[in-house]
A = this chain, B = another copy of it.
Amino acid sequence: MVLHHATWPEVEAYLRRSRGIVIPLGSTEQHGPTGLIGTDSITAETIAREAGALADALVGPTLTLGPAQFNLGFPGTVCLRPTTMIQVLLDYVQSLARGGFRKFYLLNGHGGNLAPAWCAIQELHADRSLGRSGSESLDFRLRSWWDLPEVNALRQQLYGVGEGMHATPSEIAITQHVLPAQHRPDTLPAPPGLSPAFLKFHAGDNHLDADAHRAQFPDGRVGSHSGLAQPAHGQALLQAAAQAAARDYAAFLAGDPA
């Protein structure tokens, strides 16, 4: 059930059977010469909705803006300050907690969202730990779709080192499948490869400022061979992600450790 497509009596009825909700986290930023600026939002939202359908979970509206200052050298990028994103998440969660929600599953599509989302979760817990919130304990699971083991295996199998870090063929393939009319041809050569150390350290999009980042990655791709993407891959990745996320969400509701 998609919250935007529901009525309040339907949400009231849902709350009698579940206290959980899925919240997709996206971004609005360049994804290389052929990837869509909305890639992170489109993938997170689509996976969340398909997973929600599988798991009978309510799916809230996608946060389409996230921290992306490193991409501000490419026009069309929009960047929330991390502190702004933290405040947005506080308001989002506190509103739903007021209505009775207790378990928040954040389905993430943008590495740069991870740090502020973790901060927001700790701020929300701190409110209660310091006696400033009247609500019961809240619970959170934050999961990037590419980190779900089944998805991770599939994208490595499909693209190997070409997957890279930003404007990845896997995320672009999903948008090709979801929005076929927006499929740009891509004959770009593979960009320079990234070392495992780089990949590990920059997980979470811990990049430099906008001028330095564009100088380092002139076409916006960070080690990703976007031209490998194909709509059929996208369909498979979407299916794998939705199923894995639905299982992960069910385990979260059941109280299983992450």
Contacts and interface: CB of A to CB of B under 8 A. Distances in A.
Nearest to A74: B8
A59 to B, nearest CB: 11
A191 interface: no
A73 B129 contact: yes
A100 to B, nearest CB: 6
Contacts of A211: 128-129, 137
Copies in the complex: 6
A30 interface: yes
A163 B81 CA distance: 36
A130 B95 contact: yes
Interface stretch (A47-55, A83-91, A229-237): A83-91
Contact of A132 (B5, B79, B92, B132): B132
A112 B115 CA distance: 11
Nearest to A87: B84
A88 B65 contact: yes
A148 interface: no
A69 to B, nearest CB: 4
A245 interface: no
